[in-house]
Amino acid sequence: LMLSMHRTITRAIADQIERQDMSLKDSLTGLWNRRKLFEVVDEIDNRKSYSLLLIDIDHFKQLNDEKGHQKGDEVLTLISLCIVHCCCPQDLVVRYGGEEFLVLLPGTDIETAASQAESIRREVQSEGLNTVSIGVAQSCMHKDFDAVVSAADRAMYRAKREGRNRVLVDNSDTTDTLT
Q: What is the pLDDT of residues 131-148, one digit of tens each?
A: 999 999 999 888 889 999
Residues 120-139 as b/e (b if ≥16 CB within 10 A, e otherwise) read: bbebbeeeebbebbbbbbbb
Q: What does pTM read for this prediction?
A: 0.84
- Are 72 and 58 in contact by the 8 Å Cβ rule? The answer is no
Please give the positions annotated as active site: 99
16 pLDDT above the threshold of 80: no
